Amino acid sequence: MKILFWGTPAYAVPSLEALVAAGHELVGVVSQPDRRRGRGKELMASPVKARALELALPVFTPQRIRRDCECQAELAALGAEVSVVVAFGQILPQAVLDQPPLGCWNGHGSLLPRWRGAGPIQWSLLDGDAQTGVGIMAMEAGLDTGPVLLERALTIGLLENAAQLGERLSLLTAELLVEALPLVAAAGPGPEAERLARLGVRPQASEGLTTARLLTKADLQINWQQSALQVHRRVMGLYPNAQTSWGGKRLKLLATEPLVQRLADQLSPEAAELLRHDPAIQAASAAAASPSGAAPIGATQPGAEPGTVLAVIKELGLVVASAGCPLLVRSAQLEGKAVVSGQALLQQLGARVGDRLG
């Protein structure tokens, strides 16, 4: 098939590569314009543009495709049979959606209609979803409102961050697109309603609709008045940008584990061992689980303010009080310093029991 591919971040690169490997003809690649990135603010191409150039594919980088009639005409002249969109970053106008005879198809990283919008991966983690997935959707003028052709779910691991989940979803997106395009080709061109009916697409339900709003700087701040599980979800969902403070400097939290008894089988062996054998952590976890908030008879109730360091565990990290169970901080990055974990983290922070984060 002759395909016009739309994509920008690294997430979309496996899909681009998979379509080329499957033998399709990529007549063009559309990506966001070069942006200034890094400390030196050097002008850099998007990951999709960079890979497309390596593959010797023609690349287009409209500032605003909605307003760029000249670029729209250039794309129409390519004669693409179908458009494939993966995390492009702009809403396509109806004139562009109407160009390819076999339609425009989007690989979206959620189980629609849950998490329509630009940040479905982050929000699935922030909201504590047990699963997510990928849908191949026929595009409409609305934001991720089109019917779904193929869909596949993935279970989200408790200790999985946004980058790790994104990598799995990006590979699944590529796989499903390769599976979907022969179906699209077999259905053939024609009026959209008839074409989609031949494909047997699933209209999105009206129930369960959520929107993945854009994140703000305020969203990045850890609130220690939340439970350990809520804080952990923020660290995983905002990876690598969830932050608190330490000694007046910004501290990014990169890997954490909520020390919650009911989640023990999902924790690392080291964290599960803490829950089984460390008396102070057992007491703090038991107090948080108690309806009254008090430790059981024979245990010591730490009574520490949220954000307080409860324990410094050699080779592992910090145990920090939250509004509920304790939180194990395993990896972090202090402002102006390198990312460190375990013993190196303890040495860099010089942390002691009773110190405070936030």
The 3-state secondary structure of 176-224, one letter per residue: HHHHHHHHHHHHCCCCHHHHHHHHCCECCCCCCCCEECCCCHHHHECCC
**Taking Cα atoms as reference points, which of 37, 49, 44 lies closest to residue 10?**
49
Tell me, what's the pLDDT at 288? 59
Contact 99, 75 (CB under 8 A): yes
Strand, helix or coil for residue 38: coil
In tens digits, what is the pLDDT along the chain, a chain of 358 residues?
A: 999 999 999 999 999 999 999 999 999 999 999 998 877 788 999 999 999 999 999 999 999 999 999 999 999 999 999 999 999 999 999 999 999 999 999 999 999 999 999 899 999 999 999 999 999 999 998 899 999 999 999 999 999 999 999 999 999 999 999 999 999 999 999 999 999 999 999 999 989 999 999 999 999 999 999 999 999 999 999 999 999 999 999 999 999 999 999 999 999 999 999 888 877 677 666 665 544 333 332 223 356 899 999 999 988 999 999 998 999 999 999 999 999 999 999 999 999 999 999 9
Tell me, what's the pLDDT at 287? 61
Q: Which amino acid, one-letter code, is at 197?
A: A
Tell me, what's the pLDDT at 300? 31
Give the Cα separation of 287 and 325 in Å (integer): 8
pTM of this structure: 0.92
Contact 253, 235 (CB under 8 A): yes
Tell me, what's the pLDDT at 289? 56
Tell me, what's the pLDDT at 295? 34
Tell me, what's the pLDDT at 142? 87
Q: Which domains occur in the chain, in start order?
A: 2-212 (3.40.50.170), 217-349 (3.10.25.10)
**Taking Cα atoms as reference points, which of 154, 150, 357, 343 lies closest to residue 249?**
357
Tell me, what's the pLDDT at 60? 98
